[in-house]
Structure 1
């Protein structure tokens, strides 16, 4: 990639006294712009590679030759850091990725609640899904997301999910989920998709897919706690208890928290065992 970008000259009238070379960007600004373009190019390249791999698996022609039938062991998911570099946040979809240290500790917490046969569904929280499958893939883990980009991560585990049609889901999910993890998008009451509207539809989905004995974990802003109390009011969705888990995002400064649906879940906290050196250092800073 060229180290410089040509900036077109501003239109000038014939009577203008301006002359000389066309305007150029400040070197530091130009360096930032080139760096951004390079990162976007690399993001597109890596995404296209993932799409090709996904297409091969769907066709039964895995590039690694390991197949992807129901009995096959899934290879570990990409790391959260790689995921964050490949998938940009789409703010129009209210996407804000968790920090890597939080996502990994939260994923360990979820794994501590699971067995190899647990059915766990992640609604609108792809970062948590990626971290969970990176640590140890579960064959019955599913990501329910409107953003079709995530189908390239692992096609068999991705379920298209549109809150405009909250019960349009595969039949196998009906009362088939042991643990549901949801991060409802859209927190601004002034937006078309308000917290009230969003959570009403999420509740419809959860009541369809959760088993009567299932557990629910909700990560969202404390500003909508009243909505949670009103809508998630009966089993298996509630009543919700606020846990000890503090939710951390990379670029979102809202006060977030975590709620859970079962008795005693007030004591639920992040699992710290197995932290990497990098995670511990970042936590201590």
Structure 2
């Protein structure tokens, strides 16, 4: 049997080891946070990282607070609220919603940690949804992930299917004419903003006087 030379087992450089150790440490922290979240009855304020591959851009705190204030003011304590492709709102809304039922319709499987509140959703299949939820939600808040007529058209099908009463849609200003033709909504004075300033200007649209309920 021949001896095995140390050269046959390549060694990582100190720099590579440091990068690897940092990556593994961050991975452990994230896994611990996910485990805590899935096992906890309370919702911590930790938010997930944006995934730009999925066209995710999180709202800033002022926008989150304004949308939640509007949502709570326009619904009753036992109403149901649907969030379509806007997971940034979930954590704080859930913490303040009282007995309201919140469902998050989301493509990103990371949000499965929200348990029964999470409903897997792919806008490309707008009616591939659980049975018996047609006209089930007193408020639907949607933020289509892509600024395209195809995406907005398909999400509008989902919105109309789920909605019983109130609708809020946040999307790019470039979609204004199209969304007004597509749905019975008006542009609000309130403008949503994001943590990382986006080049695209965003508007908020609703089928009720959203500006009034947030005052």
Q: Normalised by the size of structure 1, how large is the TM-score?
A: 0.63
Q: Of 250, 253, 263, which aligns to 2:195?
A: 250
Distance 1:223 1:35, change over 3 A: farther
User: Where do 5+ consecutive residues of structure 1 fail to align?
Assistant: 9-29, 54-62, 64-74, 188-194, 233-237, 272-285
1:57-85 deviations in Å (ceiling 9; x for gaps): xxxxxx7xxxxxxxxxxx44322xx12xx
| Higher Cα radius of gyration | 1
Q: Of 209, 220, 223, which aligns to 2:174?
A: 223
Q: How many residues align?
A: 201
**Structure 1 vs Structure 2 CA RMSD:** 2.5
Name 1:276's counterpart in structure 2: none
Name 1:199's counterpart in structure 2: 152
Q: Of 201, 205, 211, which aligns to 1:267?
A: 211
Q: Following the alignment from structure 2 to structure 1, what is the Cα–Cα distance between the partners of residues 99 and 84? A: 16
Q: Following the alignment from structure 1 to structure 2, what is the Cα–Cα distance between the partners of residues 100 and 266? A: 18
Please state which structure has a larger fraction of its residues in strand: 2
Q: Following the alignment from structure 2 to structure 1, what is the Cα–Cα distance between the partners of residues 28 and 105? A: 27
Greater relative contact order (CA < 8 Å, ≥ 6 in sequence): 2
Please state which structure has a larger fraction of its residues in helix: 2
1:160-215 deviations in Å (ceiling 9; x for gaps): 1111211011123111111110001112xxxxxxx11101111111221122xx11
- Asked if the contact 2:73/2:214 (under 8 Å) is kept, the reply is no
Name 1:43's counterpart in structure 2: 30
User: Where do 5+ consecutive residues of structure 2 fail to align?
Assistant: 1-12
Name 1:126's counterpart in structure 2: 87
Matched, 1:141 2:102: yes
State the secondary structure of the residue aligned to 1:172.
Answer: coil
Q: Of 4, 7, 20, which aligns to 2:15?
A: 7
Q: Following the alignment from structure 1 to structure 2, what is the Cα–Cα distance between the partners of residues 139 and 220? A: 25
Name 1:156's counterpart in structure 2: 116
Could you tell me how far 1:225 is from its partner in structure 2?
A: 0.9
State the secondary structure of the residue aligned to 2:74.
Answer: coil
- Asked if the contact 1:96/1:252 (under 8 Å) is kept, the reply is no
1:81-134 deviations in Å (ceiling 9; x for gaps): x12xxx111111111111123212321221111212111111000111222112
Q: Following the alignment from structure 1 to structure 2, what is the Cα–Cα distance between the partners of residues 96 and 46? A: 21
